[in-house]
Amino acid sequence: MRTPTLAELPPLDDNWLEIDTQKQQLRCWQGRVLSHECSVSTGEAGVGQQEGSGRTPQGWHYVRAAIGDGLPENAVFRGRRWTREVYSAELAATYSSRDWILTRILWLCGLETGKNRGGHVDSQRRYIYLHGTPPDQPMGVPASHGCIRLRNHDLLAVFRFARPGTSVWLHGGDAYVPASDNFDTPH
């Protein structure tokens, strides 16, 4: 796994993810071409970098680890380990207070020292993930504890697309336009 540098972002010849916390939307880019987009749910407490805030961090990150390959859909994770449980309505009723982390985990690591890397703003030490969530949880609205929640079918597509080392840009509606020309976006 090669860690991207800020000078190389966004990668013009490689896969990368864009997560817009204002629109609650994730986009998968292949260089300048949009290949997938879906609704997400980010931090109910809003955006922010501080440890313990329950907020979704901003800035450039990369996928540090991809966890759960080959496990069943709705596999339940605690501490990034499969519990051997598969989410169901019965399990949800038994453990009604759990913050469910399901199916797969893409664990993020910040690239911007002092913003999302190091000290009390470190996204990796804050355990910021992209992960699955139960079907009754809302999408398109902030409702998580800081992570990025996705529907299982979208998470599985993103998991295949974004292997460790993939760049991830989390922002609050800021348009990113490379110096030379615009990205191809759907109309």
**Terminal alpha carbon distance of the chain:** 34
Q: How far is CA 26 from CA 51, 74, 102, in A?
A: 23, 20, 18
Give the SS3 label for residue 164. coil
Domain of 25 in residue numbering reads as 12-171
Alpha helices (H) along 69-137: 89-94
Domain total in the chain: 1
Evaluate whether residue 2 is within a structural domain.
no
Instruction: Specify whether the CB–CB gap between 91 and 24 falls below 8 A.
Output: no
Average pLDDT over residues 133-162: 97
Evaluate whether residue 7 is within a structural domain.
no
Specify the CATH number for the domain of residue 47. 2.40.440.10
Instruction: Specify whether the CB–CB gap between 146 and 129 falls below 8 A.
Output: no
What are the two backbone dihedrals, phi and then psi, of residue 26, each rounded to the nearest 5 degrees?
-115, 140
pLDDT tens-digit series, residues 7-59 = 888 898 899 999 999 999 999 999 999 999 999 999 999 999 999 999 999 99
Evaluate whether residue 1 is within a structural domain.
no
Evaluate whether residue 3 is within a structural domain.
no
Evaluate whether residue 27 is within a structural domain.
yes
**d(C-alpha 14, C-alpha 177), whole Å:** 16
Evaluate whether residue 177 is within a structural domain.
no
pTM above 0.75, yes or no: yes
Evaluate whether residue 179 is within a structural domain.
no
Evaluate whether residue 187 is within a structural domain.
no
